[in-house]
Amino acid sequence: MQTTEAINIAPTLFKKVLKLMGNRFEISVVAQEQEIANQWIDEAVLEIQRIEKLLTTFDENSQTNQINKYAGIKPVMVDKEVFELISRSKKISDLTQGAFDISYGSIDKKLWNFDQSMKKLPDPITAKNSVKLINYKNVILNKDDCSVFLKEKGMRIGFGGIGKGYAADRAKAVMVASGVLNGIVNASGDLTAWGCQPNGEPWTIGISDPNAALRPFSYLQLNNASIATSGDYEKFVVIDGKKYSHTIDPKTGLPATGIKSVSIISPTAELADAMTTPVIIMGTKVGLNLIDQVKGMACIIIDDNDQIHTSKNIQLK
């Protein structure tokens, strides 16, 4: 009589790289078979594409563009999901005293062309005028009918500072609901990881060196946590020997200076994504002080002098 033995197939890391929301997404899952891994990843991709349709400003029929179209005219009813994302965005604006603000969409793009053709900064008065419509307090939410109203004509919202992180969280959520116990969603540097590697070790994440973006300067172990990194190496211009990043201070209309790179570790990719920009705008001292007061959040800053600063609750390896 023959006996049959169960064959143990070792878990393997499967990954797929795609362009979604105009960015590079890398979705990785631990599975025993390629077929099931592909199925899980396809579910995540569909979810990210669904979110892109809601949030994009490149489709005039998107809910975001409808809100912008009727700025100063009338409220626009939106899906509960969009309403709640805007509501959370406003809370982050309160937390950061306006350094994070989804109404940045009204900024005059003609002033900012972060390439070689840009030879000087706009004067302070022109810069200040360019941000006069940025004010999250003028994004009016009505819970009763799930509507959003931008008080001033010409106001525009956009989700460039929070959308990728939100999409990464949602991609994780649909995969976890399908039974994915171990995985990573990396949305162009906004990354969420859960479970562990196929060998049972925690996920090890490299943090880019702002002076050589493809080379990590440090590593962190992540488990059921998220990290987002933003730096002046992504888009910048050098004027009179000084480097200016693409991060614009919504209060002055001028580029933030003093910080090369910020990494935020938090429970969600959405929050990590949203908090990188305000820390760059606030500067090292104020930014670290804020992060130290937020439970479950940590921060690594590299300043213009290549000094590394960390929040109180982090140990670099």
Q: Is 196 helix (H, G, I), strand (E, B) or coil?
A: coil
CA angle in degrees (0–180, nearest 5) for 9-14-18: 165
Average pLDDT, consecutive stretches of 10 residues, N- to C-terminus, the chain (317 residues): 55 95 96 96 98 93 95 97 98 96 82 68 84 95 98 95 97 98 95 95 86 75 91 72 80 88 95 96 95 93 91 75
Task: Give the separation between CA 124 and CA 113, rounded to whole angstroms.
Answer: 17
Helices 34-55 and 80-95, packing angle to 10 deg: 80
Neighbours of 242 (CB within 10 A): 11
Q: Is the sign of the CA dihedral 140, 71, 103, 185 positive or negative?
A: positive
pLDDT of residue 127: 83
Helix (H) or strand (E) holding 50: helix 34-55
Pairing of strands 225-231, 236-239: unpaired
200: left (phi over 0), alpha (psi -120 to 50) or beta: left
Question: Domain residues of the chain, as ranges?
Answer: 63-150, 202-317
The answer to whether 63-150 and 202-317 have equal CATH topology is no
- Each residue of 50-65: pLDDT tens digit? 999 999 998 999 999 9
Task: Give the separation between CA 316 and CA 128, rounded to whole angstroms.
Answer: 39
Helix (H) or strand (E) holding 60: none
pLDDT of residue 238: 76
Right CATH for 202-317 from 2.40.30.170, 3.40.50.10490, 3.10.520.10, 2.60.120.10: 3.10.520.10
End-to-end CA distance of the chain: 56
pLDDT of residue 126: 85
Token reading at 209: 């060196």
Superfamily holding 63-150: ApbE-like superfamily (1.10.3980.10)
